[in-house]
Structure formats: structure tokens, C-alpha cells
Amino acid sequence: MAVDEGLVEILREDLAHTVNISEKRMFGGLCFMLNGNMLCGVHKNGGMFRVGKELEAEALAIEGARPMDFTGRPMAGFIDVEDDLLGDDARRHKMLALAQAYVGAMPAK
């Protein structure tokens, strides 16, 4: 897996006290799942957060965020982020809060 393990550790630490977090390899990287639903992750070119359509505009306003489009088509409700966003505590925490608000309201899988 060609991801920055330091960034993976940062997210692990952020989520250490969150109940029902698991890890799963997907999207060519490592994703963190909340109650079985994809929450966020790290891939070889940065990271991603699942914020839902309702919070997408707010997430895209954060510097270093863009629509996720691994397949060449934007994936609604998913945000792709640069490495430096993941390394910046304030921006990462804001993005993670948006993702937790959305994914935390979803039924468990």
C-alpha cells in the first residue's frame, strides 16, 4: 500500500476514542469505517472524507478540499483532500467533524 503511514497514524489518533471504528483497505488506501460505513481515509495522493451531499459545499470551502473523482466522475458527498490538509490540525478536525456528523447519523451496517 503506497500511502503515507504518518497520515494514517494522525487519523488513528484522531479517532482513537471514537466507538465502533474499524479499518478497511479500499480505494487504493486505508479507510476508517464508523459503524461499518466509510468515514474517511488515506490514499496515495492524500485523503478522503465522506460528508454527504448536504455538507459538501461546507467541506469544499476548506482549503485543500476538492470533489472526489477517482473514476473521472465526481462522487457526490465524498471529498478528496491534499496531504497538507490532513497534516493541518484545524482543517483536518473541521473535515472530520463534518464526516462524523454525516456518517454518524447513518444506520450501522
Query: pLDDT tens-digit profile of 70-94?
Result: 778 889 999 999 999 999 999 999 9
pLDDT at 9 over 90: yes
Alpha carbons within 13 A on the beta-carbon side of 19: 2
Question: Nearest to residue 86, comparing CAs of 34, 35, 32, 24?
Answer: 32
Q: Is residue 27 assigned to a domain?
A: yes
Q: Is residue 19 assigned to a domain?
A: yes
Q: Which domain holds residue 95?
A: 5-104
Q: Is residue 85 assigned to a domain?
A: yes
State the Cα–Cα distance between residues 103 and 52, nearest whole angstrom: 8
Query: pLDDT tens-digit profile of 31-68?
Result: 999 999 999 999 988 999 999 999 999 999 999 999 99
Going 49 to 54 to 59 to 60, the CA torsion angle's sign is: positive
Q: Is residue 20 assigned to a domain?
A: yes
What CATH number corresponds to the domain at position 69? 3.90.1150
Q: Is residue 109 assigned to a domain?
A: no
Burial of 72 (0-12, 13-18, 19+ CB in 10 A): exposed
Q: Is residue 71 assigned to a domain?
A: yes
State the Cα–Cα distance between residues 87 and 109, nearest whole angstrom: 30
Q: How many domains does the chain have?
A: 1
What confidence score (pLDDT) does residue 20 get?
A: 97
Do the beta carbons of residue 55 and residue 22 sit within 8 Å?
Answer: no
